[in-house]
């Protein structure tokens, strides 16, 4: 840092990052030669992990120097002791780094800038330009979505995958639940792709990889428009299993996508084969359905992916899913569901 370099610092929990936060960061970037953001871990405020929140800032503002404050003070308030606690922590975190301007829209801008011997740069402190706070968004994150960048909003959506062999009721279930929760659902992209590209009811290795990429692209779009839940009919794991079944292998790209899919979904349900089989021209028969079901279950077991098997009619399956969703929270430890 040169003597004349202007360095702006801002900090927060960013739980979640919203347009008001972005205005502060972007103002600092526009006015300063260099920008620093400190983001606090705050498990008592939000279950969203610190790396997820930090990744929003890194992706939106790659030029920012970001500090992850894993051991930062958890107390907040306008008392002398709390102020000194935060001032001491920030000075220790920065070390000999010099900050010329402290950016915020909060009361702590005055005491923090004084402690850093920096200019107190207040941005929209009256919440006129962006009339929202993170506290308000945490109460109603889905109705306040217009204050959130799509990158942030998609990480608040609970992505629910329905797997199972052909003719096990996945599509009906995804559609029914989407209507119930007034949200969108991800149709089986692979069926559309297959109908357009199949030759003698087969796809090549490269086509199966292309199918998987197309599915994920559509799914990403829906994650930015969903209302709390996205119900996904079939995923890349199924495409991988079909590739292994028909070709004995899978393209490297498809293998990579299948591995990534193991941690992509918040909840996985497997529709069982206890409903009548619909023998349509694009399916391979009841015996094949049983084989594919066993392969899907085996793959989930090998990848250590937790799932719930759904049996019974549509109403029974819907009730089971709704019961689990009522107890599930995003970024929750799945084992907590069984307590």
179 alpha-carbon distance from chain centroid = 22
Q: Convert the pLDDT of each residue in 288-319 to its tens digit.
A: 889 999 999 999 999 999 999 999 999 999 99
What is the enclosing helix (H) or strand (E) of 224?
A: none
Sign of CA dihedral 23, 26, 30, 34: positive
> pLDDT category, 328, cuts 50, 70, 90?
very high
Superfamily (CATH) of domain 157-338? P-loop containing nucleotide triphosphate hydrolases (3.40.50.300)
Cβ atoms of residues 229 and 270 within 8 Å: no
Q: Convert the pLDDT of each residue in 229-240 to its tens digit.
A: 999 999 999 999
For the residues 211-238, what does the mean pLDDT come to? 96
Query: So what's the pLDDT on residue 280?
Result: 55
Give helix then strand counts, H and E, for the chain: 13, 10
**Torsion angle of the four alpha carbons 198, 200, 201, 204, in this order, in degrees rounded to the nearest 10:** -50
Query: So what's the pLDDT on residue 1?
Result: 59
- Percentage of the chain surpassing pLDDT 90? 84
- Collapsing DSSP to helix, strand or coil, 122 comes out as strand
φ/ψ bin of 31: left (φ > 0), alpha (ψ from -120 to 50), beta (otherwise)? alpha
Q: Give burial (CB, 10 Å; 0-12/13-18/19+) of 141.
A: buried
- Collapsing DSSP to helix, strand or coil, 10 comes out as strand
Same CATH fold assignment for domains 7-144 and 157-338: yes
Sign of CA dihedral 199, 205, 206, 207: positive
What is the edge-to-edge ordering of all strands in the sheet holding 7-12?
65-69, 34-40, 7-12, 101-104, 119-122
Query: So what's the pLDDT on residue 199?
Result: 74
All structural domains of the chain with their residue ranges = 7-144, 157-338
Mean pLDDT of the chain: 93
pLDDT of 2 higher than 50: yes
CB atoms within 10 A of CB 217: 10
- The CA–CA distances, whole Å, from 180 to 116, 175, 320 equal 53, 9, 14
For the residues 239-264, what does the mean pLDDT come to? 95
CA distance 263 to 202: 28
Query: So what's the pLDDT on residue 287?
Result: 57
> pLDDT category, 284, cuts 50, 70, 90?
low
CB proximity list for 66: less than 8 A, separation 6 or greater: 36, 37, 38, 39, 54, 57, 58
pLDDT of 117 higher than 60: yes
Q: What does DSSP assign to residue 123?
A: -
Q: b vs e for 248-263, b when ≥16 Cβ sit within 10 Å of the residue's Cβ? A: eebbeebbebbeebbe
Task: Tell me the Cα Rg of the chain.
Answer: 25
Query: So what's the pLDDT on residue 336?
Result: 86
pLDDT of 282 higher than 70: no
- Percentage of the chain surpassing pLDDT 70? 96
Query: So what's the pLDDT on residue 285?
Result: 45
Residue 162: which of 77, 63, 229 has the closest Cα?
229
pLDDT of 58 higher than 70: yes
Q: Convert the pLDDT of each residue in 197-212 to its tens digit.
A: 887 778 899 999 999 9
Query: So what's the pLDDT on residue 277?
Result: 64
In this prediction the pTM is 0.92
pLDDT of 119 higher than 80: yes
Query: So what's the pLDDT on residue 276?
Result: 80
Assigned CATH class of 7-144 = alpha beta
């Amino acid at each position: 840092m040169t003597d004349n370099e202007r360095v702006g610092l801002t900090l927060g929990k960013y739980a979640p990052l919203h347009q008001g936060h972005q205005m502060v960061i972007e103002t600092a970037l526009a006015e300063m030669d260099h920008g620093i953001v400190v983001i606090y871990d705050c498990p008592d405020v939000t279950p969203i992990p610190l790396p997820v929140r930090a990744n929003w800032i890194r992706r939106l503002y790659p030029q920012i120097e970001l500090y992850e404050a894993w051991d930062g003070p958890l107390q907040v308030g306008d008392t002398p002791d709390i102020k000194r606690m935060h001032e001491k922590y920030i000075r220790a975190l920065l070390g000999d780094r010099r900050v010329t301007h402290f950016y915020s829209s909060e009361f702590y801008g005055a005491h923090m800038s004084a402690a850093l011997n920096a200019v107190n740069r207040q941005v929209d402190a009256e919440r006129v330009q962006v009339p929202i706070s993170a506290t308000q968004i945490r109460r109603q994150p889905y109705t306040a979505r217009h204050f959130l960048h799509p990158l942030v909003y998609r990480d608040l959506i609970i992505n629910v995958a329905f797997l199972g062999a052909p003719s096990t009721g996945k599509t009906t279930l995804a559609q029914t639940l989407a209507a119930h929760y007034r949200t969108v659902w991800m149709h089986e992209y692979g069926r559309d792709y297959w109908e357009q590209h199949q030759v003698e009811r087969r796809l090549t290795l490269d086509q199966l990889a292309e199918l998987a990429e197309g599915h994920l692209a559509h799914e990403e779009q829906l994650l930015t428009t969903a209302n709390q839940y996205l119900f996904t009919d079939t995923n890349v794991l199924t495409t991988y299993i079909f590739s292994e079944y028909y070709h004995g292998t899978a393209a490297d790209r498809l293998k990579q996508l299948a591995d990534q899919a193991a941690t992509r979904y918040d909840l996985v349900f497997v529709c069982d084969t206890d409903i009548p089989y619909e023998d349509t021209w694009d399916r391979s028969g009841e015996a094949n359905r049983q084989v594919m079901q066993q392969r899907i279950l085996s793959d989930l077991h090998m990848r250590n992916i937790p799932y719930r098997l759904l049996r019974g009619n549509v109403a029974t399956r819907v009730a089971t899913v709704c019961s689990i969703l009522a107890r599930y929270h995003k970024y929750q430890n799945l084992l907590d569901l069984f307590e």
